[in-house]
Amino acid sequence: MPNERMLKDYQREHSRVVPRYELLYRLLIDKIISMPPEQEFLPYQEQLAEQYKLSRNTVRRALAKLQRDGYIETVKKSGSRVLRRTIEAHCPSLKERNLSGCIGVILSNNVDDPSIRTGIRWKLVDEIERQFGRCGIRIVVYNLRENQWSAWRDFDKIVYSLRANGIMHVIYLPDQNEYFPWLDLNLNLLQNGIRVSLCFNSLFDVAEFSSFLLPGTDFVAVNHENTLFETLKKLLEDPVKRIIYVVNESYRKTFSDFRAESIQRFAITHQKEFHYLIAPYRKLLNSDYERNEPDIDNETAMKVSKLCEESNNLVLCANDYSAQSLLKWCSKLPGAIVVGYDNTKIAENLGISTFCFNMFARAEALLSLHITPSDDVRGVVVNSTFVDRRISM
């Protein structure tokens, strides 16, 4: 096949030897992107190994990484079914603008853990891929994991990699972390003529990261408060007696104290009891690694259970993980409506109501900002949405 791409075509880093499974991983991503819609499966492992003169183990490692990253799923006796691919451009008015090439998406995960790939960051990445893919624009994800940050502090390497991929526009979720100079990275990108679009998970973030909003920067922020209070009014149509807000200590500095004050004022206005319960920051362990993770402890869960001995309670959790943890300790909360926040698969599996970060609207706003570049600071605010499952526990 004269037009067949070779592994060596994907050797982007010239300063180190890239493992062959990584080269195959990159090749297969391009293969997935260019596959016709009617083709659902990649070739079998044996076929890939023979075609690219690789060992079965190398092919398995490449496919395992594709699966972790959400591109494929393994189907018994059928092979690797494609889950994600860039959609071919079908918007003539946009194609006329000659939008092409790639954009970069920078995010950070603490560890290379497949379960984290289903979180809200990766859901946003998936939606960005779909929205930009409509215009024939591919994305390249840079996952700056904390355990590799020392390698990413050389901003020249990041800029070199971006340009090698034809990327002059970067989308990322900033972080206030003492171990990585996010603001310095932001300045470096702008100084090198790379456009920056920031994704904020709340309006609180806009104020917290105001120093990032320099000329040539766009941002998209989620307004949760309007959705939250409209939802509370709807939920209070049922005879709710008290509102219980349950959070983990780790969120106090970011949003929980401020949100608790707002919810308390709402509760007082509507003559409802209000309880603000804060769980300590616990360290969870598993067989592979040790990490801190927001979670609700047994003592806090028992406080919620005690309050819910009487009927008609609304329990708001800071996120779906906290809701999952709470329900782990309290198998039943009679007379309580439990609401999470994030709209992860966890909430869906639990069957609880939850708030959604509205990934579609955020990605759509990012695309509109990309289409009409500006030297000014521009922002778009989108509302979160409420997924109403309304199940009393």
Q: How many CB atoms lie within 10 A of CB 183?
A: 14
pLDDT of residue 113: 46
Show Cβ contacts of residue 240 under 8 Å, excluding neighbours closer than 6 positions. 272, 312, 313, 314, 337
Identical fold at 92-223+358-382 and 225-356? yes
pLDDT of residue 93: 37
Structure tokens at 207: 């104020």
pLDDT of residue 285: 47
Show Cβ contacts of residue 222 under 8 Å, excluding neighbours closer than 6 positions. 200, 201, 202, 203, 357, 358, 362, 381, 382, 383, 384
pLDDT of residue 125: 83
Third-level CATH fold of 7-82:
Arc Repressor Mutant, subunit A (1.10.10)
CB burial string 246-274: b at 16+ within 10 A, e below: bbbebbeebbbeebbeebbebbeeeebeb
CATH number of the domain located at residue range(s) 92-223+358-382 in this protein = 3.40.50.2300
Instruction: Report d(CA 256, CA 235) in Å as an integer.
Output: 20
Judged on CB neighbours under 10 Å (0-12, 13-18, 19+), 303 is middle
pLDDT of residue 7: 75
Low-confidence ranges of the chain (pLDDT < 70): 1-5, 9-17, 34, 37-38, 77, 84-100, 109-119, 145-151, 282-294, 391-393
Length of the chain: 393
What does pTM read for this prediction?
A: 0.67
pLDDT of residue 286: 45
pLDDT of residue 145: 64
Instruction: Domain ranges for the chain, please list them.
Output: 7-82, 92-223+358-382, 225-356
- CA terminus-to-terminus distance, the chain: 60
Q: Token pair 């990484």 is at which residue?
A: 65
Is the Cβ–Cβ distance between 195 and 373 less than 8 Å?
Answer: yes
CATH number of the domain located at residue range(s) 225-356 in this protein = 3.40.50.2300
CA 169 to chain centre: 19
